[in-house]
Structure 1
Amino acid sequence: MTALSGMTRCSYFNEGLCGSCTHLDVPYAHQLSVKQSIAEGQLACAEWLPPVASAEYGFRNRAKIIVAGSTEQPTLGILRNGYGQDLRDCLLYEPVITNAHGPLTEFITRAGLVPYSVPNRAGELKSILVTANPSGTLMVRFVLRSDASIPSIRRHLPWLIDRIPLVIATANLLPEHVALPEGPTEIHLHGPNLFDMSLGPLDLKLRPQGFFQTNTEITRVLYATAAAWVDEIDPSSVWDLYSGVGGFAKSVARPRRTVRGVEVSAEAVKAAGGPPMFIAADAGAWAREQTSTPELLIVNPPRRGMGDLADWVRTSDIDRVLYSSCNLSTAARDLEVMGFSADRAQVFDMFPHTDHVECLVLASRATSRSERTA
């Protein structure tokens, strides 16, 4: 994309301090137009619907806040050349996250937390991961090099709880000097085990290490759209593979419709509600073990796509697929492998000012049974 306008509302971008929003100086309507054009070029589809636009600012429900500087003067933001760049006034976050930056900064000093120095490989507090839910409360996770700071965090948490709408607090341990967002060990410090991410009547729960789409309002529209498209078909049975927190499965569930969600993470399945609706298993292995197939398959795979599960679908009796993808090139590849053609597709702009999009594709069988078993 080519910059079409000059200064933006973001001083960090204007001053060259942060370039995370690659296309922030491109008018948003043009961003959407380009994304739509790229999507249509990646996937041949009988009907492309208009893209679903996001709010331009205040849409991110999740922040990865890199902590640097000193205990007395910490920076909360990103790293530039290994050193901290404070971004506490970033315009992308939901206001409740932006407003939490000040108290979190003071909390670091009060609790005597030592920010981790990447150049020196010293210190304890690497980052703070903050998630906001639709009701305006927060889950805060302190990513630490070791458990040495946890007693002090526990001791000072009541002060922080009095100043921000903190519902859940945890410590995550990442001992290695690696560019990862978090480590495998999560230590519960405060509140319930699951964070309520419900979208109206859609009951969704998130574990601290779980995944939820970063744009709540676009996620709400995505699930509602999926439900409407599925209701048009009105299948009696649905499988939601890679079901995660259960958003798609719960959105399309109806009294006379059998829905099964399959997710490899046992903790995610527990958060979604567990059996009989949700099953902890590898999606491909589970599908191959079944003696029947659903009238509709929903898949929301990782960026790399479905892998050899696409080959299994090609030889199965499944005739309709609803594919949600954050990487349309792999989705197009998977649909070709499966022998499906796209009937309807729509871009959902989860990530304004970047090249990334979420896409929903409704596809149907394009090959005969003899062709797919050849």
Structure 2
Amino acid sequence: MFDPLAALRERSGPGCDVYLTGTVFLDIIFTGLDSAPVRGTESWARGMGSSPGGIANMAAALARLGLRTSLAAAFGDDMYGDYCREELETGEGIDLSLSHTVPGWHSPVTVSMAYEGERTMISHGHEAPPGPHAPPHREAGTAYDPDAPPCPPPAAACVSSLVPGRPQEWVATAARRGSRVFADVGWDETGRWDLGALAELAHCEAFLPNAVEAMRYTRTDCPRAAAHALAEHVPLAVVTLGAEGAYAVDAGTGETAHAPGIPVEALDTTGAGDVFVAGFVTGSLAGWPLPDRLAFAALTSALSVQEFGGSLSAPGWPEIAAWWRSTGCAQEPRRTRYAFLDRILTGCAAAAPPRRAVPTLGFRPPES
């Protein structure tokens, strides 16, 4: 696999590039719906895929970009859990040594319905119970095995999804150990949209909410104004704009950058935000300028929505190289904006197509 950080790592450096923890779902995705399901009727989808989801979206996107990725998560001891673990560990090369299987706990499941460029999701699951040796004050949202090696492990970076009012003490620990912290955020179910409730924001190098989240947290009516307001709380504010790209503000230098969206035919937008963050983290660890990091993240996100599912839709370097050589360099201004890929892709050779979401969890091998 092409490794964008090969020339930058030090022998005495951490054993992994990125650490993350969270909940792994089994995602079942229906696409090709003409409209939202209507109560009392049956809808048929023209396409379907299954893949690991939840935090697996981010982990797979990072691993496919060549980053050594460590994931701490709980897995159910059902067939769904076995499938997700196999896909992530064997299929994507993600380090799961800090993960564990919970006896008697079933895997969380999300059904996603994609139509008209959007998606509607229904999920079911229960919080993973603490392990037999977990301390009574085990923090919410952390599923790693307390008997595993030190967690969080030494890592160049870590990625967290901030939850209002739910402290994640491991983020502060990772920051103290020298990890660069990148974070996004989900919908605030409390409706308060209070930045003060995101305690870990103080430890973040970059905060990457979407436009709606950013405007609600900053009480602004413009994504760019929201990015500037967030830059008063975090060194680097990045606001994603969906199909319109992204906008970023560096609080230290005052630099701003905008990456326009890349027009593609969207099949399924599940996990697009996670892929964006993975692309931005990759560029950050590689030391690229802010405009290049933002443009690269927008590209990886756009490529991902052309495939089923969140985790297995993420692009790898061969797909990025194919886009650049066939489409990206074909016309201005894209040719100028992505010219930095020429230098990066020098050592990127052709590879087998990546694994994709399929309708079923797996086929039995033919009988001999």
Bigger relative CO (Cα 8 Å, ≥ 6 apart): 2
TM-score computed with the length of structure 2 as normaliser: 0.30
TM-score computed with the length of structure 1 as normaliser: 0.29
Bigger radius of gyration among the two: 1
